Amino acid sequence: MEDLDTLVLRTAQRWWTEGQAVVLVTVARTWGSSPRPPGSLMAINGRGETVGSVSGGCIEDDLIHRIREGGVEAALTGAAPTVLRYGISADQAHRFGLPCGGTVELVLERVAPQSRLDELLRACEQRQSTERVLSLKTGNVTLRPGRRDGVPQLDDDTLTTYQGPQARLIVIGAGDLSRFLSQMALSLGFEVFVCDPREEHRASWNLPGVTLTHEMPDDLILRLKPDACTAVVALTHDPKLDDLALIDALQSDAFYVGAIGSRRNSATRRERLRVHFDMSEDVLDRLHGPAGLYIASKTPAEIALSIMAEVVAVKNGFRKPASETASSGEGVLFTA
């Protein structure tokens, strides 16, 4: 399953290839409370069909109405991109359902060859972070290497946005917990790999949308080369498998590396990695163990929820205070 931004871009490109007129809408700036953050994308075709969103629904309804009433041209002031602002007045904020008088500024552009959506999509598939600069005067687009998490910038002449590779989750171990974790990750737009060299664990494991591999965990980590959009979670309870993955993952650019187990087992693992594999304290401090936020979880589904919540929190820039304990196994018996 693709993340929402990639889905919007791919759908917009497909509609345009099919010969439809398409408007790509980008949230450029927001003030106060707003339902969608800057950088959010939406596409609307000439029939009023949409993918993605820029608000809670009311702004989308207004944009669709404009297009249905007057075509794509009605949503644009000319051939060049158009900047629209919603929520300037209290009446407009109320009309469009913007909370607390929030204001959102949108950039609307007609999809055309100079939009370079096909190139942008290829860069995402190749896990390259890309800066996209849209000229507000001509609609021409410049693509260049950029950071994944850059904040959109709008000035009188250009809109600069950032697009990067899909978030990716590598799970070590195929079991019930892995299945629940993978399902949640897929629903959140992650690309998911599950690795387990043990044939008996893989035999009945099948989940559409997940890449299942029988490689040794360290071979998979070395092959995929985790980047800053990748999380790695070890779930086997078997040091011969988990440790192999953790050693290489902790030395990669992965934004999250975690392993399940009680606090006692996590402390033992940390000491084992330090003594037998000569890993420094700075590197070991990257390890989330026990993995997961504390929610008093007991079942595999609840434990998966706690782990996925922590993965998303770290992805979004949140760092758990050291005093907080995790929920993935302390005092709880379960099968990974």
Side chain identity at residue 7, one-letter code: L
325's CB contacts (< 8 A; 6+ apart) are 263, 290, 294
Measured distance CA(315)–CA(222) in Å, rounded = 22
Cβ atoms 272, 248 nearer than 8 A: no
What pLDDT does 290 receive? Answer: 93
**Across the beta sheet with 50-52, what order do the strands follow?**
50-52, 41-45, 22-31, 103-110, 82-86
Average pLDDT, stretch 102-123? 93
| pLDDT > 70? residue 330 | no
Provide the pLDDT confidence category of residue 95 given band limits of 50, 70 and 90: low
Provide the pLDDT confidence category of residue 65 given band limits of 50, 70 and 90: confident
Average pLDDT, stretch 24-52? 88
What pLDDT does 323 receive? Answer: 40
Average pLDDT, stretch 279-284? 92
Beta strands in the chain (DSSP E): 22-31, 41-45, 50-52, 82-86, 103-110, 130-135, 141-145, 153-154, 158-163, 168-172, 191-195, 210-213, 230-234, 256-259, 287-288
Average pLDDT, stretch 286-307? 94
| pLDDT > 60? residue 207 | yes
| pLDDT > 50? residue 240 | yes
Average pLDDT, stretch 58-76? 81
| pLDDT > 50? residue 335 | no
The CATH superfamily of 168-315 is NAD(P)-binding Rossmann-like Domain (3.40.50.720)
What pLDDT does 91 receive? Answer: 66
Least confidently predicted of 6-20, 50-64, 187-201, 248-262 = 50-64
Percent of the chain with pLDDT over 90: 63
Give first-to-last CA distance, the chain, whole Å.
24
SS3 category, 211: strand
> For the segment 155-205, what is each residue's pLDDT rounded down to a tens digit?
999 999 999 888 999 999 999 999 999 999 999 999 999 999 998 888 888
| pLDDT > 50? residue 13 | yes
- Mean pLDDT for the chain? 87
Domain boundaries defined on the chain: 4-160, 168-315
Average pLDDT, stretch 235-242? 92
| pLDDT > 80? residue 110 | yes
Provide the pLDDT confidence category of residue 320 given band limits of 50, 70 and 90: low
